[in-house]
Amino acid sequence: MTDFTYELDADGVAVIAWDVKNKSMNVMSREGFVELDGMVDKALADEAVKGVVITSAKDSFAGGMDLNIIARMKEDAGDDPARGLFDGIMQIHAILRKIERAGMDPKTNKGGKPIAAALPGTALGIGLEIPLSCHRIFAADNPKAKIGLPEIKVGIFPGAGGTTRISRKLGAMAAAPILLEGKLLDPKKAKSSGIVDEVVPADELLASAKAWVLSAKDADIVKPWDQKGYKFPGGAPYHPTGFMTFVGASAMVNGNTKGVYPAAKALLSAVYEGALVPFDTALKIEARWFTNVLMNPSSSNMIRSLFINKEALEKGANRPDVPDQKVRKLGILGAGMMGAGIAYVAANAGIEVALIDAKQDAADKGKAHAESILDKGISRKKVTPEKKDEVLSRILPTTDYDALKGCDLIVEAVFEDPKVKAEVTAKAEAILGDDAIFATNTSTLPITDLAKASKRPEQFIGIHFFSPVDKMLLVEIIKGKQTGDVAVAKALDFVRQIRKTPIVVNDARFFYANRCIIPYINEGLRMVREGVTPALIENAAKMVGMPLGPLQLTDETSIDLGAKIARATRAAMGDAYPDGEVDEVIFWMEEQGRLGRKANAGFYAYDEKGKRQGLWDGLIDQFPVADEQPDLQEVQQRLLFAQALEAVRALEDGVLMDIREGDVASILGWGFAPWSGGVLSWLDMVGAAWAVERCDTLTEAYGKRFEAPALLRELAENGEGFYDRLDGQRADAA
Ligand code: NAD
């Protein structure tokens, strides 16, 4: 394997160029480290080498460490994984420290060889940690390049010296957005913030780095932290200003993460403790905290769901084997909130759109929605006026169904009424070509029933978007009983074109995402009726990593929608309807006219500008708070199990066919505690045996809805988890 090339030029500069074969961007592997280490040794040992430039043969430097390796690091670390991980991390530190010290005398700091990093473009994660160990960083003036340490976003932190070096280089305050938020900068901003040293024209990159290497003196290559009298910029923790920074950072991290993301806490500890000791000890502390994070299943679960499996689904892991079904022209029926959002994302992805509504002004309003999103983009400098014109020119708002001629996909988003939907289906099919696929965006009506209005039910499918369409990343694709493979492939290819993440599920009431989120909301409302303090319900949810408490979520989606769904479900289920207690709360709120955020009044109070204030006092007048309150964990478990058990039932019923989809959708679709890696990963994390035991207790206390599904019991009996049993398997379509 050769991930790096080595070349010694006539002036005595060794150029180590990173160039991983068959990849558009370099990523670091175990073998890559060994190779880099060997080349650094060679350069340092060769008397003919005066200095070194580490660069890349591609137009970027590197995208980071291979995430597949990080996800498996614990499993691959041997019988004593903590020890194995720590030793492995220390080996990486040793390689980078060797670059940093470059053969200089440990006492006099003299005699080292200058080593520069030359970054042609993007440099992320380990792709920045290596340059940070070099003596000078040159970046090409490439405004598209992104430079930074995004590890925190995958549930880990920069653990190859990046944490220690960036905080010592910039000080804790300036390092905070880079480390804690994973903020990425273009080369010029990276220079002004002190991360890179020089930004030069791309065609002068290598020459500039070489020239510096040949002119650098002993003093130029000694890092500040290896010099006598080094002081931590902005003050170490016991310095008066440093103290303020660290206290503030600690409060901020806990406020933002509610303490559920182990990486943020560990990162802060590594910086704080590292700042109190000499550099090499700080690296050891960083390695200990990094080991701690990698030992926590949260990091590997997050990487598995949010990167590896999300990407696999986007690349078509569950796509039937039929030819490319890319959408050329899209027809949208209904230009309301959803139709307008879908028109924007499609046009933005380069697709021609015919946007149809019953009235011309409604169709125009749909197009105006796209315009307002683009205008916001312009004011944030993310969109150019030319791009806006180009995107808008692709949307034709009209009432004329003839505009559907030539459409190869229709997405229907008219009122949630089977009659209206049947009418527009027939009208559209009369115009469409034989191969066109018809999709409905319904959120509650069974696809198989709606398909009855179609002349070609095998070409009829559900494509369920979430609101707001331009922001939500998940799209649920629903197969009706007769939906064929081409329709599934078409839906998947469309979702890929608009750069969202798809899951494919079978048809059943509420499909998958809404089926799981409704019990979460209902559990919160049940607790209100039981007399649990509303603030306890909301805070318990947020403290376990849910983005919104169940009451706030109900306000956002609206009380009347909740009441409408409750009525329809009650009508469909008859005596088996289990949520009468919930309805007491939701119907009472509806009667009070407190319809949620849109009415400026709901479970929360809002000011005239619509800004959310505290919880509404009137709620506890109607549903008085009980004298005895449950403990926090009990509330949290009720809220999490309500969602997770429904996901297991969806899997048992064959609605969900792939556990990866169950997890990815739970995070992207409704924000299920992302630190856990998703609903099923959470059950694996706590263990099926513990989950079953808790379910038995909760069933006794609160009722049958907490009964452990048979599949969970079986896993508990066998000492297995969902990923032990089902990873990579796809259940047959029901
Ligand atoms: P909406 O009321 O905002 O929009 C519906 C639009 O359809 C209106 O502009 C209306 O004029 C138009 N329309 C009605 N009858 C028509 C006809 N015969 N021909 C052409 N146009 C017609 O509703 P919405 O919130 O955009 O929801 C649309 C669909 O999407 C529903 O099926 C809904 O269940 C589903 N959905 C909604 C959400 C959500 O959060 N609102 C989320 C997912 C799915």
At 128, which CATH number? 3.90.226.10
Q: Which residues pair with 483 in a beta bridge?
A: none
Across 451-477, average pLDDT: 97
Tokens of 478: 């629903």
Looking from the CA of residue 339, the nearest atom of ligand 1 is 26
Question: How far apart (Å, rounded) are the C-alpha atoms in residues 528 and 616?
Answer: 12
Domain that holds residue 213: 4-295
What is the per-residue pLDDT for 734?
36
CA of residue 448 to ligand 1 center, whole Å:
19
Q: Which residue, by CA, sits nearest to atom 14 of ligand 1?
A: 414
Q: Which of these, 153, 176, 154, 147, lies nearest to 163 by C-alpha position?
A: 176
CA of residue 414 to ligand 1 center, whole Å:
4
Closest ligand 1 atom to 416 CA: 32
| Final residue in a domain of this structure, among 295, 310, 343 | 295
**Mean pLDDT, range 69-92, rounded to an integer:** 91
The mean pLDDT of 388-416, rounded to a whole number, is 97
For ligand 1, whether the C-beta of 667 sits within 6 Å is no
Tell me the pairing of strands 474-479 and 460-465. Answer: antiparallel
User: Both 139 and 230 in a single domain?
Assistant: yes
Please state, in angstroms and rounded to a whole number, the distance separating the CA atoms of residues 732 and 450. 23
How many residues are listed for the chain in this entry?
734
682, 643 contact by CB (below 8 A): no
How many Cβ atoms sit within 10 Å of the Cβ of residue 66?
17
210/355 Cα distance (integer angstroms): 57
The structure tokens listed for 517 are 């989120």
Active site residue 369: no
CA dihedral 337, 340, 344, 345 (to 10 degrees): 60
Confidence class for position 733, pLDDT limits 50, 70, 90: very low
The reply to whether 445 and 533 lie within a common domain is no
Alpha-carbon distance of 571 to 415, in angstroms, equals 19
Whether ligand 1 lies within 6 angstroms of the CB of 211 is answered as: no
Residue 309 lies in a domain: no
424 C-beta closer than 6 A to ligand 1? yes
pLDDT tens sequence across 154-188: 899 999 999 999 999 999 999 999 999 999 999 99
> If you take atom 8 of ligand 1, which residue's CA is the nearest one?
336
HSE-CB at 661 with a 13 A cutoff on CA atoms is 29
In a domain, 628, yes or no: yes
729: pLDDT strictly greater than 80: no
Centre of ligand 1 from the C-alpha of residue 274, in Å: 56
Whether ligand 1 lies within 6 angstroms of the CB of 440 is answered as: no
Q: CATH code at 540?
A: 1.10.1040.50
Instruction: Return d(Cα 447, Cα 487) in angstroms, integer.
Output: 13
Euclidean distance between CA atoms 425 and 431, whole angstroms: 10
For ligand 1, atom 19, which residue shows the shortest CA distance?
358
String of b and e for 698-733 (b: at least 16 CB within 10 Å)?
beeebeebbbbbebbbebbeeeebbbeebeeeeeee
Give a yes or no: residue 352 inside a domain. yes
Phi, psi for 542 (deg, rounded to 5): -70, -35
Beta strands in 34-96 (DSSP E): 51-56, 64-65
Asked whether the predicted pLDDT for residue 668 surpasses 60, the reply is yes
The enclosing domain of 488 has a CATH number of: 3.40.50.720
Nearest atom of ligand 1 to the alpha carbon of 399: 20
Ligand 1 centroid from CA 704, angstroms: 36
Question: Does some domain include residue 311?
Answer: no
Q: For a pocket test of ligand 1, which of 429, 443, 444 has the largest count of ligand atoms closer than 8 A to its C-beta?
A: 443
Reference 253, options 264, 241, 240; nearest CA is 264
- Which of 332, 333, 337, 471 for mutating ligand 1's site (highest number of atoms within 8 Å of CB)? 337
Question: What would the pLDDT profile of 530-576 be if each residue is shown by its tens digit?
Answer: 999 999 999 999 999 999 999 999 999 999 989 998 898 888 888 88
Residues 489 and 537 in one domain: no
**Phi, psi (rounded to 5 degrees) for 483:** -60, 135
Tell me how many domains the chain contains.
Answer: 3
Closest CA to 385 of 375, 370, 395, 397: 375
Three-class SS state of 141: coil
> Do residues 443 and 335 both lie within one domain?
yes
Candidates 93, 135, 369, 464; catalytic one: 464
> With bands split at pLDDT 50, 70 and 90, how would you rate the model's confidence at 731?
low
If asked whether residues 413 and 539 sit together in one domain, one would say no
257 shares a domain with 151: yes
CB of 413 closer than 6 A to ligand 1?
Answer: yes
Q: What pLDDT band is residue 727 in, cutting at 50, 70 and 90?
A: confident
Cα 625 to Cα 193: distance, rounded to the nearest angstrom:
52
CA distances from 327 to 32, 349, 407, 411 (A): 40, 10, 8, 12
Q: pLDDT over 70 for what percent of the chain? A: 99
Whether 109 and 46 have beta carbons less than 8 Å apart is answered as no
Domain-embedded: residue 246? yes
Are residues 482 and 518 part of one domain? no
Give the per-residue pLDDT at 572. 84
**pLDDT at residue number 577:** 86
Residue 274: what pLDDT? 96
Residue 597 corresponds to which tokens in the numbers above?
A: 């955020």
Three-state secondary-structure class, residue 500? coil
* pLDDT > 50? residue 722: yes
| Ligand 1 centroid from CA 442, angstroms | 8
User: 561 CB under 6 A from ligand 1?
Assistant: no
Statement to judge: residues 570 and 673 lie in one domain = yes
Least confident of 16-25, 574-583, 648-657: 574-583
Same domain, residue pair 711 and 685: yes
User: How far away, in angstroms, is 474 Cα from ligand 1 center?
Assistant: 19
* Residue that finishes a domain, picked among 269, 295, 321: 295
The Cα 444–Cα 417 span in angstroms is 10
- Which atom of ligand 1 lies nearest, measured to the CA of 338? 26
For ligand 1, say whether the CB of 416 is within 6 Å of any of its atoms: yes
Give the burial class of 347: count Cβ atoms within 10 A of its Cβ; 0-12 exposed, 13-18 middle, 19 or more buried. Answer: buried
| Cα separation, 647 vs 652, whole angstroms | 9
- The reply to whether 306 falls in a domain is no
Higher pLDDT, 239 or 40: 40
Q: Whose CA is nearest to atom 17 of ligand 1?
A: 358
- Cβ-contact 648, 721 below 8 angstroms: no
At 29, phi and psi to the nearest 5? -120, 175
**pTM to 2 decimal places:** 0.91
Residue 259: the pLDDT is: 87
363 contact partners, CB below 8 Å, separation of at least 6: 335, 355, 356, 357, 397, 398, 399
What are 162's two structure tokens? Answer: 């990046």
Residue nearest to atom 40 of ligand 1 (CA): 467
510 C-alpha to center of ligand 1: Å? 17
In a domain, 577, yes or no: yes
Ligand 1: atom nearest CA of 356 is: 20
Considering the domain architecture, whether residues 141 and 211 belong to the same structural domain is answered as yes
Q: Is the pLDDT of residue 732 over 80?
A: no
Tokens at residue 279, please?
């550099």
What is the distance in A from the centroid of ligand 1 to the CA of 358?
11
Identify which of 264, 238, 232 has the alpha carbon closest to the alpha carbon of residue 249. Answer: 264
Relative to the CA of 423, which ligand 1 atom is closest? 18
Provide CB contacts within 8 A for 468, sequence distance 6+: 341
Q: Does the Cβ of 467 fall within 6 Å of ligand 1?
A: yes
* CB-based contacts of 339, cutoff 8 Å, min separation 6: 332, 333, 355, 357, 366, 411, 413, 414, 441
Question: Does ligand 1 have an atom closer than 6 angstroms to the CB of 531?
Answer: no
Domain identity same for 205 and 253:
yes
450 lines ligand 1 (CB under 6 A): no
Say which residues have a Cβ less than 8 Å from residue 611's Cβ, sequence separation at least 6: none
- Is 650 within the bounds of a domain? yes
* Domain endpoint, select from 509, 530, 547: 509
Question: How many angstroms does the Cα of residue 336 sit away from the middle of ligand 1?
Answer: 5
Q: Do both 340 and 379 map to the same domain?
A: yes
Give the closest residue to 534 by CA, choosing from 610, 605, 640, 611: 605
pLDDT value of residue 438: 98
Burial of 324 (0-12, 13-18, 19+ CB in 10 A): exposed
Q: Which H or E element spans position 506? A: strand 501-506
Q: Shortest CA distance to 681 belongs to which of 694, 664, 695?
A: 664
